[in-house]
Chain A
């Protein structure tokens, strides 16, 4: 503490003297904010302690709550995944080794769920992000009522999974549903969305697409607005038209944002749960009558809280985590490659 000189100049500073009475000039002379007490006094010791401890106190709530409800459970889930834990007899937990995992890998429903998660993930993420880039590009023009457009595009984000899925389930219903009714105008026979294999996956994906396209569009729009103007000006000087500017300036400059949204959407797709649960109605946790759209998230819920095998549910959770880590690693590799090639 450099305050000793100043404190000596003001020996009257005591516990009850208002600290605010210090001359304002002290600030300019001192540079860093140090209060004017005698370094040995109770007050300045409190002050130093406060300076040292308060940063940790401020970040403590996050780490305590996250530790207790995120990190410790994460490790316990690994522990439970090596045990036989049944919902019906929580007190009888017996060591099972890798049985839950072996059981998982030999279960056709696990592979089915993995495949469904992958296909639904692809057919929901790819069109969603492509459309989002397109919409962002349009929103990036100087528009009348630009805020209104943005808010309207984001409205589906305010709709919960539960509400949106209930509505889409009715829209997709076999008889009298809006979608089949619209399809008959273009000569397509009614499709049994709920029962058919790809129909259900398509329907579930469309709910995801509807809810998240506008959100991603805004993220792209933000990134587009941060692209320096000169890039477009020089591209225009080189004779690039609007489409070429979009391809050769906008898309390359968006690359980090695109990667970011791909990662976020992939994480979201891996955890897909609410949409297939509600779309399936009574057979929801099975992901439809023949498990057509049972995702990994749903499979975990079904095994844990429907069948009651919490040990296996834990194993599924950890398998999902490992898959996410692999995806993250692949992403990292791709990013590096892209950087090198640039």
Chain B
């Protein structure tokens, strides 16, 4: 037993490629057999299936409508990419849509991260009446589907004169039960209670504790939650489509309008799909590792 205990941490640093701090679990070091050629072949097939539709979108977006209707479908790039991107940008109003989506997803991300960290800290480290029950309630809310709120929200937002305004989309999504639970699980381990006590002894009030102790300790998890929230908020579909119209669309609403037929040009539609996905694809190139780590971390602990 001693030998496995001694070798385990080494193996952990080798296998934990996603750089998560504070994981004490031994990552099944001994059983990790080296992958054989068959594994690589099968994984390559799946990787191609994952990437091919996106690469092909770029090819289709660089062609013209007539070419796309012919068989065989284009298997390489044409010369119309920038023309189509420009057309999609103008015809679908993607400029406004990008700005709107950035505002919506950005605000939701900041709100979710801050509120989740505060609530997660309270549930992880503070003692108060009914905390167990309230935590259970928080987790329970994840079961409620968003469809259930849509009709009244639509009616109220119309009453307030808020239809087609961005706050209509932002407000209902500003907090997250998953985020709260995610931060709680992280802070349970990552924030030593002694640190809070030390700050208390120094006379810090709760806000100072949050600012000087909790936020710094939570930073890695806040970053991951932020990325996950941004992806989700950027891709949200149901409520934005009901709440917003074509004057103030998010990217998804604009893409929906492209798809439901008032532009018959398939190459332009593909250019629009490409543009709508591009910001997240870039985020994925930059932060893919962290997003992967966040999903795996959330999965283990959730």
Nearest chain A CB to B109 CB, angstrom units: 15
Beta-carbon contact of A50 and B51 below 8 Å: no
Residue A200 interfacial (CB < 8 Å):
no
Tell whether, in the assembled complex, residue A170 and residue B283 are in contact, meaning their CB atoms are under 8 Å apart: no
Choose from A30, A77, A221 the contact partner of B296 (Cβ within 8 Å). A221
Q: When the two chains form their complex, are residues B15 and A214 in contact, meaning their CB atoms are under 8 A apart?
A: no
Instruction: Please tell me if B223 contacts chain A, counting CB pairs below 8 Å.
Output: no
Q: Are A61 and B118 in contact (CB-based, < 8 A)?
A: yes
CA distance A170 to B270 in the complex (A): 9
A224-B155 CB under 8 A given contacts A59-B123, A317-B150: no
User: Is A273 in contact with B237, judged by CB distance below 8 angstroms?
Assistant: yes
B116: which A residues are within 8 A, CB to CB?
62
Residues of chain B contacted by A204 (CB below 8 angstroms): none
Q: How far is the CB of B107 from chain A (nearest CB, A)?
A: 13
Q: Which of A33-84 contact B (CB under 8 A)?
A: 33-35, 46-47, 50-52, 54-59, 61-63, 65-66, 69-74, 76-77, 80
**A317 partner, pick from B131, B151, B207, beta carbons under 8 A:** B151
Please indicate the chain B residues that have their CB under 8 angstroms from the CB of A46 in the complex: 205
Whether a CB of chain B sits under 8 angstroms from the CB of A304 is yes
CA distance A331 to B185 in the complex (A): 25
Nearest neighbor of A169 in chain B, beta-carbon distance: B259
Interface size on B, residues (CB 8 A): 120
Q: Are A162 and B202 in contact (CB under 8 A)?
A: no
Within 8 A of B (CB), among A261-282: 267, 270-271, 273-274, 277-278, 281-282
Kindly identify which residue among B26, B153, B180 contacts A73, using a CB–CB cutoff of 8 Å. B153
A65 pairs with B151, CB closer than 8 A: no
B35 touches A164 (CB 8 A): no
Additional pairs, 16, CB under 8 Å, beyond known A72-B152, A233-B31:
A47-B205, A58-B126, A74-B148, A147-B17, A150-B18, A153-B46, A155-B281, A158-B284, A162-B259, A165-B259, A166-B255, A167-B54, A176-B70, A219-B299, A260-B302, A278-B260
| Chain A residues near B (Cβ < 8 Å) | 19-20, 22, 26-27, 30, 32-35, 46-47, 50-52, 54-59, 61-63, 65-66, 69-74, 76-77, 80, 85, 90, 131, 135, 138-144, 146-147, 149-171, 175-178, 180-181, 210, 214-215, 218-219, 221-230, 232-233, 242, 245, 257, 260, 267, 270-271, 273-274, 277-278, 281-282, 284, 297, 300-301, 304-305, 310, 313-314, 317-318, 320-321, 324, 328
